Amino acid sequence: QVQLMESGPGLVQPSETLSLTCTVSGFSLTSYNVHWVRQPPGKGLEWMGVMWSGGSTDYNSALKSRLSISRDTSKNQVFLKMNSLQSEDTTTYYCARGYNNYVMDAWGQGASVTVSS
């Protein structure tokens, strides 16, 4: 059974760094891609970036200067780090399994993050 689960702090201070972990099961990180997507409350979806199955990454140019995605295949985990957080980064962050490049065929339950002092 394919599962993804995001974990991380629910509250981050402004200007600090957000660190999220996506723990996967039911598939291998070396066979499938893992995307990060975020969704502000009541709004649409924004693609953030991807860890390709081969180990390389691709980022949304709007976030690239602040974003880093990495992985630990031995732990079945993909990590997202984003620095210089501001209030507009208050949103739900999802990790999703990628099928055929940018199609996302399984999603985690989401991690809600609030940026506030």
In this structure, what token pair is assigned to residue 50?
Answer: 């991807």
CA distance 33 to 56: 10
When the beta carbons of 83 and 102 are compared against another protein, the nearer one is 102
Q: Are strands 111-115 and 11-12 parallel, antiparallel or unpaired?
A: parallel
Q: Which of these segments, 23-31, 65-73, 81-89, 95-103, binds another protein (CB under 8 A)?
A: 95-103
Cα–Cα distances (Å) from 116 to 1, 66, 72, 88, 113, in that order, read 36, 18, 30, 10, 10
Q: Which of these segments, 16-24, 69-77, 82-90, 107-115, binds another protein (CB under 8 A)?
A: 107-115
Q: Does 24 bind another protein (CB under 8 A)?
A: no
Q: How far apart are the first and last CA of the chain?
A: 39
One character per residue 38-67, x = contact with another protein (rule: CB under 8 A): ------xxxx----------x-xxx-----
Contacts to another protein by CB under 8 A: 44-47, 58, 60-62, 94, 96, 99-110
